[in-house]
Amino acid sequence: MSDRTTSAAPSSAAPAPAPAPAARRSWRQALRVYREPASLRMLALGFSAGLPLLLVLGTLSFWLREAGIDRTTIGYLSWVGLAYAFKWVWAPLVDRLPIPLLTRALGRRRSWLLLAQCMVVAGLVGMALHDPRAALLPVVWCALAVAFGSATQDVALDAFRIESAGADQQAALAATYQTGYRLAMIWAGAGALWIAARAEVAGLSGYQSGAWSAAYFAMAASMAVGIVTVLCSPEPAPRALPRPRNAAEWLRGALVEPFADFIRRYRWQAVLILALIAVYRISDVVMGIMANPFYVDMGFSKDEVAAVSKIYGVAMTLAGAFVGGALAMRVGVMRVLMLGALLSALTNLLFAWLSTRGHDLAGLIAVVAADNLANGMASAAFIAYLSSLTNIQYSATQYALFSSLMLLLPKWLAGFSGAYVDAYGYSAFFIMTALLGLPVLLLVAIASRPGFLPKRPEAG
The pLDDT assigned to 167 comes to 59
The pLDDT assigned to 113 comes to 93
The pLDDT assigned to 330 comes to 76
Answer yes or no: are the C-beta atoms of 448 and 338 closer than 8 Å.
yes
The pLDDT assigned to 18 comes to 40
Q: What angle do CA 280, 420, 185 make, to 5 degrees?
A: 50
Position 319: which residue type?
Answer: A
How far from 256 is each of 89, 106, 159, 260, CA to CA, in Å?
A: 12, 27, 18, 6
How many angstroms separate the CA atoms of 171 and 39, rounded? 10
245 DSSP assignment: S
Distance of CA 280 to the CA centre of its chain: 13
Answer yes or no: are the C-beta atoms of 46 and 180 closer than 8 Å.
yes
Q: pTM of the full predicted structure?
A: 0.69
How many angstroms separate the CA atoms of 408 and 251, rounded? 25
The residue ranges of DSSP E strands in 109-206, in sequence order, are none
Instruction: Give the mean pLDDT per block of 10 residues along the chain (460 residues).
Output: 33 36 54 67 90 88 89 89 81 81 86 94 95 92 95 87 67 77 85 90 80 95 92 75 65 70 78 85 86 87 82 79 79 83 89 90 89 85 78 68 77 88 91 90 84 50
Phi, psi (5° rounding) for residue 289? -65, -35
Nearest to 375 by CA among 424, 341, 413: 341
Answer yes or no: are the C-beta atoms of 127 and 214 closer than 8 Å.
no
252 DSSP assignment: I
The pLDDT assigned to 31 comes to 58
CB atoms within 10 A of CB 73: 13
Residue 325: which residues within 8 A CB-CB, separation 6 or more?
Answer: 171, 172, 174, 175, 178, 380, 381, 384
